[in-house]
Amino acid sequence: MSFIDKILFVFYPGKCAFCGELMPYSKTGVYICGDCLKSIRFCVNEKCCPICGVPIVNDKKICDECFSLKKNGTSVSYDKIVSSCIYDKSTKNGILKFKTGAAGGSYSTFAGIIAPIVRSSLKNIDLIVAVPPRKERMIRSGFDQCHVLADKISKLLDIPYKKNAMRRIRETGKQSSLSGEMRRENLKGVFEAVIDRGIIKNKNILVIDDVKTTGSTINECAAALKKKGAAHVYGAVIAETNLER
Ligand SMILES: [Zn+2]
Ligand SMILES: [Zn+2]
């Protein structure tokens, strides 16, 4: 550590967003310690499905689920989802802490690792929106993790962000205890785009969420945005749950 770094470390320490280790001040606002850097599976180093972003273990070009959807002619509403890393034991705790608002400052790290993958994988995005929070979460923590992420990503990429562009028509309860099929059913038609049609008509929209499990949340957001005239809808998340297929 250089002398300057030592001074900065004393006065402006940061914390690794994944394990909480104290770290020297970083101009970029991205705090990931050396151990986490080594253990985290970043999606840029993985072979992932070019449509839904899930890691692919076989030598196919797209994952089995996207393949069977294509074959049946039942396509999803989103055009592509990208993730910065894989949700596993190396990333889970940091992300959960961030989601609950206990480590709200980690947003700059998470936005800082999502922005480059958006920049390299998704072109011509006109507007960024965030998945609207569940009411229960807002009452509990008052922290809207997708909003702070989207706001920071917007600044990093210099793409406008529209706050409160979407709302939940009904509450859905916690999704984490449900199976994939139940999640999909539970979320059907749950979002409404409350943004002016004129703003999103024929535009390419990027939806920011925290963790992707089945892709249902982004899919439902995409359906609502396309109903209002959006041309393409993409999704970007911190982490992709490790459902390799
Ligand atoms: Zn760490
Ligand atoms: Zn796929």
pTM, two decimals, is 0.91
Tell me: pLDDT of 151 over 80.
yes
Distance 138 CA to ligand 1 centre (A): 28
- Of the ligands numbered here, which is closest to the C-alpha atom of 64? 2
Tell me: pLDDT of 10 over 80.
no
CB under 8 Å to 227, separation ≥6 — which residues? 193
Centre a 10 Å sphere on the Cβ of residue 35 and count the other Cβ atoms it contains: 13
% of the chain beyond a pLDDT of 90: 66
Tell me: pLDDT of 4 over 80.
no
Q: How far apart are CA 133 and CA 202, in angstroms?
A: 26
Distance 88 CA to ligand 1 centre (A): 14
| 79 phi and psi angles, rounded to 5 deg | -95, -30
Distance 227 CA to ligand 1 centre (A): 42
Alpha-carbon distances of 126 from 79, 123, 205, 211, rounded to whole Å? 15, 9, 6, 23
Contact 125, 204 (CB under 8 A): yes
Per-residue pLDDT band for 92 (boundaries 50, 70, 90) equals: very high
Distance 72 CA to ligand 2 centre (A): 14
| β-strand pairing of 14-15 with 22-23 | antiparallel
pLDDT digits (tens, 9 = 90+) for 174-208: 766 777 777 777 888 899 999 999 999 999 999 99
Per-residue pLDDT band for 11 (boundaries 50, 70, 90) equals: low
- Where do the structural domains in the chain lie, given as residue ranges? 41-241
Per-residue pLDDT band for 134 (boundaries 50, 70, 90) equals: confident
**Which whole number is the average pLDDT over 110-126?**
96
The CATH code belonging to domain 41-241 is 3.40.50.2020
Alpha-carbon distances of 54 from 50, 69, 172, 193, 223, rounded to whole Å? 8, 15, 24, 26, 20
Q: How far apart are CA 223 and CA 214, in angstroms?
A: 15
Is 123 or 245 the better-scoring residue by pLDDT? 123
Helix 216-227 to helix 180-187 angle (10° resolution) is 30
